[in-house]
Amino acid sequence: MKSLSRAIAICVLLVAAGAAVRAEDGKGFRADLIGQVGFAQKQILDLENAIPDGKMAWRPNKEVRSISEVYSHIAFANYLVLKFAGVTLPEGISIASPEDATKWEKASTDKKVIREQLVKSFEFVKSSIGSMSDADLENMVDFFGQKMTVRSVLLGLLSHMHEHLGQSIAYARMEGVVPPWTAAQKAAEKAMK
């Protein structure tokens, strides 16, 4: 019964998050997508905030990204994917070679620096999507050697955010950090008993 209650609570949160943004930004695919990006952004930022400063360089093994590198990777990919979608990047953001991703990811383990990167990249994603027209979404672009619509590229971007949110949740739990939304839900359940 507890699992069903949790599933229902999560569904309600997802719908509410999307509906709240959709009401502010209009309707249609772009509004729905901006709502979902906003939901992923909130969870990513809340989780990043919950990670202790001293754990940002932690990694489960030497073969994979550290906690800070995962968050920096999300910020970098937000710009990279929009570049593939034909969006002009903001001044100061340069993506010229594959080495740029590695440089970006390894540039800092400072939570404040990483949070600023994340916030700016998410705001850029949402404003870029909001400024696109329906016709823009139909444009065909080359995405890592595959021809697809800008709409498909943007859906891939959302999927990428959630992929690394899941990775970040696993990393946090390995280090004893309970995701803030789970902690809040458990506290609410405990208060109801």
Residue count of the chain, please give it: 193
* Cβ contact 58:67 at 8 Å: yes
Q: Which helix (H) or strand (E) holds 141?
A: strand 140-143
Domain boundaries, the chain: 2-192
State pLDDT tens for residues 132-167: 999 999 999 999 999 999 999 999 999 999 999 999
Q: How far apart, in whole angstroms, are the C-alpha atoms of residue 157 and residue 128?
A: 13
At residue 151, the pLDDT reads 97
- pTM score of the predicted model: 0.85
State pLDDT tens for residues 114-135: 999 999 999 999 999 999 999 9
Asked if pLDDT for residue 53 goes beyond 50, the answer is yes
Asked if pLDDT for residue 183 goes beyond 80, the answer is yes
At residue 190, the pLDDT reads 87
**Under CATH, what is the fold of the domain 2-192?**
Four Helix Bundle (Hemerythrin (Met), subunit A) (1.20.120)
Under 8 Å CB-to-CB from 52, ≥6 apart: which residues? Answer: 175, 177
At residue 193, the pLDDT reads 83
Q: How far apart, in whole angstroms, are the C-alpha atoms of residue 78 and residue 122?
A: 7
